[in-house]
Amino acid sequence: MSSRVQNIRGMRDHLPSAMILRQHIINTLTSVFERYGFEPLQTPIVEYAETLDGKIGDDEKLIYRFEDHGGRKVALRYDQTVPLARVVAQYQGQLTFPWRRYAIGQSYRGERPGRGRYRELWQADIDIVGSASPVADAEILAVLTDALTALGFTGFTTLISHRQVLGGIARVSGLDDASAGNVYRAIDKLDKIGIDGVRNELLQSGVTPDAAERILALIDLYGSADDVLNELAQRLHDDERAQQAIDNLRAIIGYARAMGVPEERIAIAPRLARGLSYYTGAVFESIIQEPPMGSLLGGGRYDELIGMFAGRSIPTVGLAFGIERLHDVMEALGMGPESRTIAVALVTLFNPEMAMESLGLAQELRRAGLMIETTLDPSEKLGRQLQYADRRGIPYALVLGPDELARGEVVVKHLRSGEQRSVARSAVAGMLHAAAEAQRTPRIANEQGGIHER
């Protein structure tokens, strides 16, 4: 074993400058979730292995498994959806349905680490449990639209499909339901292996060349909701389940528009399969197209998963925001709060004799709701204190010397520009509050990927 001290590969340390952006993301998401009435839920990271077994399809091999000290087979949660299903089954007598819940926390996946792929990942989930209404699906779309907008994203599109549209595509191509799973799995790899790769996978799974071409032609449809749904309705007119799915998508999109989701934010994409096997209805994924940064989140309707635990059908729809993904994309685009430090100002200690007055000033400002650091060594030279603040990225330094104390003033120095001025002590808090608000104002990405202030 290497003697070098390091973290586990695929699991990241987040130093303070990164955590400020991550907390901004989490706080923004939480604020939007709660505006819609979603309630917080926290579940353990460790579950009994049997709770997770058979719930996530092909990715089950990625679950971290081990035995606890009592010899019980346990596992780290792969996502927050299966634990939600367990909670609903365990506490259904204490819950009122429909139940809106959100959960923010870590999940673990034993996959090979790479760019954008981690073994420990934070997710922010929202779900509406106990409603089969398309209004519930539409509300999820409204929440994700508001959340991404609040974070500063502008060039995003939410792709929507339906499991029974994909099933209809398979059926009209001559495949039975048993073979449709191969179609889902192949289509889900489209972004990774391309159209030729999907064609090869279909052929290798036993799909005839003619059927494969029909499938590829149908999943190639993409565009505005009304146009693509009309085209699908014509091409899948003989499949009753597909027609019902198309009607369901029309209802969802209609309600979403009523909730203020812009028409240009939604596109129908039959190729969207979503890899997890528990989806039963509408599925969706939000992507950044300009600049092309890929997927930000995904979700859909899963009406059978909770029933596997509860013993009765409890329809549910939800989604998961990938905090790692949001963080990496926002960092790459220069989005989020401009400052990467918490404190808005450092209160310096002019000399040992003035230390008590300066520490008192710091407390005044903290009690006024400001985030303030102080120098810890009263004998430290003022120049070194200012250098420290500058290296930390603290925007302002405050100096309270004997002359300022006598005049009831404080010297406020803006470290980036070097400008300084004397401000009445009673006005310092108001000035710093205004500066802190500007510091917190997130930068947003425009449609071309540029950055500007909100």
| Selection from 184, 144, 207 nearest residue 276 by Cα | 184
Asked whether residue 36 is marked as a ligand-binding residue, the answer is no
State the residue for tokens 């969706």: 284
Task: Write the burial class of residue 66 (CB in 10 Å: 0-12 exposed, 13-18 middle, 19+ buried).
Answer: exposed
Q: Which residues contact 284 (CB under 8 A, 6 or more apart)?
A: 140, 141, 144, 158, 159, 160, 161, 272, 298, 299, 300, 319
**Interhelix angle 190-204/177-188, nearest 10 degrees:** 150
- The first and second tokens of residue 121, run together, are 């990942």
Asked whether residue 440 is marked as a ligand-binding residue, the answer is no
- The first and second tokens of residue 424, run together, are 């009445």
- The first and second tokens of residue 40, run together, are 């917080």
State the residue for tokens 């014509």: 234
Chain-centre distance for alpha carbon 316: 19
Asked whether residue 22 is marked as a ligand-binding residue, the answer is no
Tally Cβ neighbours within 10 Å of residue 69: 5
**Interhelix angle 134-151/16-35, nearest 10 degrees:** 140
Beta strand 99-108 with 120-129: parallel, antiparallel or unpaired?
antiparallel
Asked whether residue 279 is marked as a ligand-binding residue, the answer is yes
Asked whether residue 109 is marked as a ligand-binding residue, the answer is yes
H-run or E-run covering 286? strand 282-288
- Cis omega (within 30 of 0) for bond into 337: no
Contact 415, 350 (CB under 8 A): no
Asked whether residue 210 is marked as a ligand-binding residue, the answer is no
Tally Cβ neighbours within 10 Å of residue 326: 26
Asked whether residue 439 is marked as a ligand-binding residue, the answer is no
Asked whether residue 79 is marked as a ligand-binding residue, the answer is yes
CA distance linking residue 259 with residue 300, whole number of Å: 18
- Cis omega (within 30 of 0) for bond into 291: yes
Asked whether residue 123 is marked as a ligand-binding residue, the answer is yes
Residues of the binding site for L-histidine: 79-81, 109, 123, 127, 274, 278-279
Residues of the binding site: 79-81, 109, 123, 127, 274, 278-279
